[in-house]
Amino acid sequence: MTGIDDLPVRDELRGKSPYGAPQLDVPVRLNTNENPYPLPEPLVERIAERVREAARNLNRYPDRDAVELRTQLARYLTDTSGYEVGLANVWAANGSNEVIQQLLQTFGGPGRTAIGFEPSYSMHGLISRGTGTGWISGPRNEDFTIDLAAAEKAIAEHRPDVVFITTPNNPTGTAVPPETVLALYEAAQAAKPSMVVVDEAYIEFSHGDSLLPLLEGRPNLVVSRTMSKAFGAAGLRLGYLAAHPAVVDAVQLVRLPYHLSAVTQATALAALEHTDTLLKYVEQLKAERDRLVSELLALGYDVTASDANFVQFGRFDDAHAVWQKILDRGVLVRDNGVPGWLRVTAGTPEENDAFLDAVRELKKEQS
Ligand code: PMP
């Protein structure tokens, strides 16, 4: 039997595993930070209409520059942040994972490095590896906030080409204050200069504001976003970034021609027409997230303060064994490999009740 190692794969890929959140068929799935609410029926109808229109032209390549979509994404960002961005500031791709990949292809690559402050979103490191970019694991404090002094020191020492700051952070839920982002931006410019990518995949769930206004006068700053979480459209695969127009020009050097299909563009445009309805679910999910935090605390668990649609809870001597026990009760949460901690995504009130019942039973078993 031929295996991966029998093929002439790149040395740095040997012995590695692909990204792999388990996709198990269990009644309650609270493991991948998805939005639990299906798209509302009027939006489903509108998507069908827009896709039908697009289908009539599928013999042609799609709009390579996705002008209408980027214009509407810019409008959404401006409306929700009060900071004006336009078409020239926005770029879109198949999920923010592809946005990150394009950024690393442009600003990272062989002979270059990227840094993230871990635990954080594991794909930053994995996409770095996939693009031949060296990965540096930067430190965090015990409470999962960024240790600014240590982070500045790591940047000065390693002089990375790309700095990732995830706020709110995944898997911890921790928000990064704007002063910290500014200090890291300054440190990164003094060291290299390098690109600073603020991953705001979960920003709509935050108690605080987007860092978009920090883009003013900072051409080496990028804010990346996604429709996978707040818009409830993980299956759509639509991510985007806001940055100086020169950054948008630069990523075009590496993007595949026609990377965003006409069907994707049509679907995303339909979803953006329904922004107000979709964002109503965000308020419900924030309330459910806060309920999970208070009930977990009341049960005696440790909880990391969360600004996202998920909650990190612990502490366990053997987090994986607890993950399995919760799964045995029909609820799938996530073991991100952070020693002592697990992560639960805020679902519907019923799903969250099922999760809370499961962990309540575990507490009883222990006492
Ligand atoms: N950034 C962060 C911090 C994430 O947690 C995720 C998804 N889990 C992504 C980016 C990627 O999202 P997508 O590719 O679906 O836009």
Where exactly are the structural domains of the chain?
22-38+276-366, 41-273
Q: From the CA of 226, give the closest atom in ligand 1.
A: 16
The Å distance, Cα 144 to ligand 1 centre, comes to 19
The yes-or-no verdict on residue 319 having pLDDT over 80 is yes
Mean pLDDT of 23-40: 92
* Position 19 pLDDT exceeds 80: no
pLDDT tens-digit profile of 98-121?
999 999 999 999 999 999 999 999
Answer yes or no: is pLDDT of 20 > 90: no
Tell me the average pLDDT across 340-365: 96
What's the confidence (pLDDT) of residue 53? Answer: 97
CB 201 less than 6 A from any atom of ligand 1: yes
Nearest-angstrom CA–CA distance, 205 and 218: 25
Binning pLDDT at 50, 70 and 90, where does residue 22 land?
confident
Residue 177 Cα distances to 81, 147, 202, 214, 321, angstroms? 16, 12, 15, 12, 34
Mean pLDDT of 213-220: 98
* Pocket flag, ligand 1, residue 101 (CB < 6 Å): no
d(CA 269, CA 226): 14
Fold of 41-273: Aspartate Aminotransferase; domain 2 (3.40.640)
CA–centroid distance, 31 to ligand 1, in Å, is 13
Mutate to test the pocket of ligand 1, among 118, 172, 228, 240 (most ligand atoms within 8 A of CB): 228
For residue 97, the ligand 1 atom closest to its alpha carbon is 14
Q: Which atom of ligand 1 is nearest to the CA of 166?
A: 3
Q: Which of 91, 97, 202 to mutate to test the pocket of ligand 1 (most atoms within 8 A of CB)?
A: 97
The residue whose C-alpha atom lies closest to atom 12 belonging to ligand 1 is 96
Q: pLDDT exceeding 70 applies to what percent of the chain?
A: 99
Calculate the average pLDDT of the chain.
Answer: 96
Q: Is 309 in the pocket of ligand 1 (CB under 6 A)?
A: no
pLDDT at residue number 13 = 84
Mean pLDDT value across residues 37-48: 96
Closest ligand 1 atom to Cα of 100: 10
Task: Give percent of the chain above pLDDT 90.
Answer: 92
Q: Ligand 1 centroid vs 361 CA: distance in angstroms?
A: 32
- Between the CA of 6 and the centroid of ligand 1 the distance, in Å, is 32
Is residue 166 within 6 Å of ligand 1 at its C-beta?
yes
Q: Mean pLDDT across the stretch 33-38?
A: 93
| Residue 231 Cα to ligand 1 middle (Å) | 13
Q: How far apart are CA 238 and CA 96, in angstroms?
A: 7
Judged against a pLDDT cut of 90, whether residue 24 lies above it is answered with no
Query: How many residues would you count in the chain?
Result: 367
**Worst-scoring range by mean pLDDT, 15-24, 195-204, 253-262, 346-355?**
15-24
- Ligand 1 in reach of 228 Cβ (< 6 A): yes
Task: Decide: 96 in ligand 1 pocket, CB within 6 A.
Answer: yes
Cite the DSSP H helix spans in 192-274: 245-251, 262-273
Beta carbon of 199 within 6 Å of any ligand 1 atom:
yes
Report which of 240, 241, 238 is spatially closest to residue 267, judged by C-alpha positions.
Answer: 238
CATH class entry, domain 22-38+276-366: alpha beta
Please tell me the distance between residue 334's alpha carbon and the centre of ligand 1 in angstroms: 15
**Residues sharing a CB contact under 8 Å with residue 259, sequence separation 6 or more, in sequence order:** 93, 94, 98
Which residue is it, tokens 């075009």? Answer: 252
**pLDDT on residue 130:** 93
Residue 17: its pLDDT value, please?
Answer: 81
Q: Tell me the per-residue pLDDT of 55-92, one tens digit each, with 9 for 90 and over.
A: 999 999 999 999 999 999 999 999 999 999 999 999 99
